[in-house]
């Protein structure tokens, strides 16, 4: 037995670890131990002492950049509620060449045995891929660290292997299973893992959420955990999940992820927080340090439902965000570092450099946001978050501003053009008038409007298309033998203050006077 164990767990021949259990448990229920490094090789005799219970040994799998075995170390956050069979079933379902062994601390060691020495980095790379897909453990060996060996006190051991049914194996059965599952390095490199997706979109979940659904949370800050679960559901549905469905999902998550579930009132509080916002951000380290043990930021940034598509946390420092729009420009007002700031969106938000330059005028040194290897630009996400967070300026609503601009534009347009009855004159730049159902409509050619915008000093609209939309003009394909016309209803300016009329020397206005045409700008009788 000892010789076979020596072959299976062959590693660093220059040293080993001796372990002494102290008899205590930490806050997670993990058995406490004392470790001593011994600068002597592992021998068959040492293995016998281990099996007989005289000593507990640990072995480092790598030496000189080579290894013959590796391990995915399942070290749960809550040992009391740890379910080994869940991972035994994954190994069976996906035909992974791993041997599950209960560790002395109460966790699980998933051991890969190789037929010969192999490059430790490449072995580790393959195990990291498996871990990322199936297990989400914090430690993967080789990692320049010793691993405690199984079957201490072999006849009464509590560190034993499991078969595919989740039943414990004695030492002889374990050795038989280990040699059976041992593979070559070439087979390891060529091993094709199957897609693991216990839930829809699983592979796009943040690692912290996957970890929580794999291993129950036994710590504090459960409201933050549940909040993140709510954020995930909002991201999955693009914010379109109804509150009833969200609450039901969170009730189910509550039972699945916590050793001590939240109350219904606490869950409703988490839902209220998440649905009250326009944007949905996970609570992540370093601002929420208690999330660190289950966080993998680099991996999360690469996932569709992770923080890669998340507005940077700095957005919380922007308050009182207000948007003011007119037909030509948009301004954003906000407080940042308690300073009121006004920016012009199409100039100062075009890129981060322009934004930084603008803040310097307020004596604020903006620190460039770190860019991830993959995913959207964080500054672009911040800009989107600011727009989502902003309220419209109630004292200068865009609809009111647009209406005033349209009024001014129409007034000037009518004042500078002769209004006639003959539609044949439209091609010469005139406007034509027609009464329909007691309403007065003005017809014109688009070319007339184009020329007016080009020559006008108002510069209210950049082009005729903007103007047509603002004044609510309607396209008329054919009317009174004329093609491609536009028409708009003559507004009721009865209560609008008109300019003082300036008459000619004879006391009358003529068609040569602008005010003659202003009279056409009237309410129908």
Each residue's pLDDT tens digit, 373-424: 767 789 999 999 999 899 998 888 888 888 888 998 998 999 899 999 999 9
Residue 24: the pLDDT is: 66
Which pTM value belongs to this model? 0.59
List the chain residues with pLDDT less than 50: 497-518, 520-525
Please state whether the peptide bond connecting residue 506 to the residue before it is cis, i.e. omega within 30 degrees of 0: no
* Complete domains list, the chain, with CATH: 2-189 (3.90.920), 202-309 (no CATH), 313-392 (no CATH), 402-518 (no CATH)
What torsion, rounded to 10 degrees, do the Cα atoms 452, 457, 459, 460 define?
A: -80
pLDDT value at position 23?
Answer: 65
Closest CA to 443 of 416, 491, 475: 475
User: Which pLDDT score, from 0 to 100, does residue 495 have?
Assistant: 53
Token representation of residue 54: 């005289």
What gap in Å lies between CA 145 and CA 66, rounded to an integer?
Answer: 14
**pLDDT score recorded for residue 511:** 45
The per-residue pLDDT for 281 is 84
Burial 3-42 (b: 16+ CB within 10 A, else e): ebbeebbbbbeebbbbbeeeeeeeebbbbebeeeeeeeeb
Q: H-helix or E-strand containing 100?
A: strand 99-102
What pLDDT score was predicted for residue 9? Answer: 97
């Amino acid at each position: 037995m000892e010789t076979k164990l020596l072959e299976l767990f062959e590693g660093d021949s220059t040293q080993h670890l001796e372990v002494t259990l102290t008899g205590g448990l930490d806050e997670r229920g993990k058995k406490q131990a004392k470790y001593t490094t011994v600068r002597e090789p592992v021998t068959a005799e040492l293995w016998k002492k281990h099996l007989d219970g005289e000593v507990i040994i640990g072995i480092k799998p790598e030496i000189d950049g080579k290894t013959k075995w590796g391990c995915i170390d399942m070290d749960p956050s809550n040992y009391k509620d740890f379910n080994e069979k869940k991972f035994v079933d994954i190994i069976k379902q996906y035909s992974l060449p791993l041997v599950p062994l209960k560790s002395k601390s109460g966790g699980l060691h998933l051991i890969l045995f190789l037929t010969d020495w192999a490059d430790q980095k490449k072995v580790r790379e393959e195990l990291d891929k498996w871990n990322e897909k199936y297990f989400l453990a914090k430690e993967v060996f080789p990692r320049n660290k010793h691993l405690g060996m199984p079957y201490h006190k072999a006849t009464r051991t509590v560190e034993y292997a499991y078969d595919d049914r989740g039943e414990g194996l004695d030492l002889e059965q374990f050795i038989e299973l280990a040699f059976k599952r041992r593979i070559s390095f070439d087979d390891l490199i060529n091993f094709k893992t199957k897609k693991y997706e216990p839930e829809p979109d699983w592979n796009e979940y943040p690692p912290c959420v996957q970890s929580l659904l794999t291993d129950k949370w036994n710590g504090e800050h459960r409201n933050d955990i549940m909040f993140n679960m709510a954020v995930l559901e909002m991201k999955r549905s693009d914010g379109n999940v109804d509150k009833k469905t969200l609450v039901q999902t969170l009730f189910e998550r509550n039972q699945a992820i916590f050793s001590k579930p939240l109350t219904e009132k606490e869950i409703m509080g988490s839902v209220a927080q998440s649905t009250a916002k326009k944007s949905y951000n996970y609570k992540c380290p370093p601002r929420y340090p208690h999330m660190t043990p289950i966080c993998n930021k680099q991996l999360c940034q690469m996932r569709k439902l992770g923080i890669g598509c998340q507005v940077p946390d700095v957005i919380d420092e922007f308050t009182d965000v207000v948007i003011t729009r007119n037909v030509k420009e948009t301004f954003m007002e906000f407080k940042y570092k308690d300073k009121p700031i006004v920016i012009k969106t199409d100039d100062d938000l075009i890129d981060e450099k322009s934004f930084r330059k603008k803040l310097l005028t307020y004596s604020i040194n903006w620190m460039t946001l770190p860019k991830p290897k993959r995913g959207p630009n964080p500054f672009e996400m911040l800009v989107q978050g600011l727009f989502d967070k902003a309220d419209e300026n109630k004292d200068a609503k865009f609809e009111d501003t647009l209406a005033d601009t349209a009024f001014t534009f129409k007034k000037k347009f009518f004042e500078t053009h002769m209004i006639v009855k003959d539609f044949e004159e439209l091609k010469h730049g005139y406007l034509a008038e027609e009464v329909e159902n007691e309403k007065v409509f003005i017809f014109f050619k688009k070319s007339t409007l184009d020329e007016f915008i080009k020559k006008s000093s108002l510069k209210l609209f950049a082009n005729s298309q903007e103007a047509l939309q603002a004044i609510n003009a309607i396209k008329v394909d054919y009317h009174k033998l004329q093609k491609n016309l536009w028409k708009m209803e003559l507004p009721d300016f009865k209560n609008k203050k008109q300019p003082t009329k300036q008459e000619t020397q004879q006391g009358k206005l003529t068609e040569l006077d602008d005010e003659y045409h202003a009279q056409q700008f009237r309410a129908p009788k």
